[in-house]
Chain A
Amino acid sequence: TQLLEQSPQFLSIQEGENLTVYCNSSSVFSSLQWYRQEPGEGPVLLVTVVTGGEVKKLKRLTFQFGDARKDSSLHITAAQPGDTGLYLCAGGNFGNEKLTFGTGTRLTIIP
């Protein structure tokens, strides 16, 4: 069974600060997705990375896939209250239609 561990589990920071959250596994994945989930809603896809070492940017969010495709990070620059939410990573493998989800990082940005 492939497992994804996310850290930290909870993070609360002031508006304007930078932060990084992590998604780690002992298994190799073909792709890694990051989702954000807000209260009362389902997860919404932010990005998919598929190449080891790949870096993708989405405005103030920077996503990186580890060289060995076992881990990933999400860095947020100048956090804003709108970034508040539960961040989930999910790993996939080619030929397998199922995703493995991490336990999530609950992020709170204090105005």
Chain B
Amino acid sequence: NAGVTQTPKFRVLKTGQSMTLLCAQDMNHEYMYWYRQDPGMGLRLIHYSVGEGTTAKGEVPDGYNVSRLKKQNFLLGLESAAPSQTSVYFCAAGQHDQPQHFGDGTRLSIL
């Protein structure tokens, strides 16, 4: 999807390892979001940001941290990966009252 780029696209981790998922947007949107998508549960909001330097907790924040040091980037960190964090992670960007534009996802497996 144009405008939001996620890296990496796939990753396999061992329990206890740490990693950072990167999200970059070129649309100059204020708001950025991290979701996880699991079968039968739809998209659940992990953390979000309403602007550079700000972050807030979403519906399922435990085990994750985020940073928004630059407006165009939103990073999602897993400090100590657990099997329950196996999922597909989506980043999105948007403006107030405007639709969200999604990246193509990062498929993460925790062994």
A residues sitting closer than 8 Å to B (CB atoms) are 9, 31, 33, 40-45, 48, 88, 90, 92, 94, 97-99, 101-104
Contact = CB atoms under 8 A, between A and B. Distances in A.
Nearest to A30: B97
Contact of B104 (A40, A94, A101, A102): A40
Chain B interface size range:
20 to 34
Given A98-B58, A101-B35, 18 more contacts: A31-B97, A40-B104, A40-B105, A41-B104, A42-B90, A43-B102, A44-B102, A45-B100, A48-B99, A88-B42, A88-B43, A92-B97, A97-B50, A98-B33, A98-B48, A99-B45, A102-B42, A103-B42
A9 to B, nearest CB: 8
Interface of B: 1, 4, 31, 33, 35, 40-45, 48, 50, 58, 90, 92, 94, 96-97, 99-105
A71 to B, nearest CB: 16
A53 to B, nearest CB: 20
Contacts of B103: 42
A97 B101 CA distance: 14
A44 B102 CA distance: 7
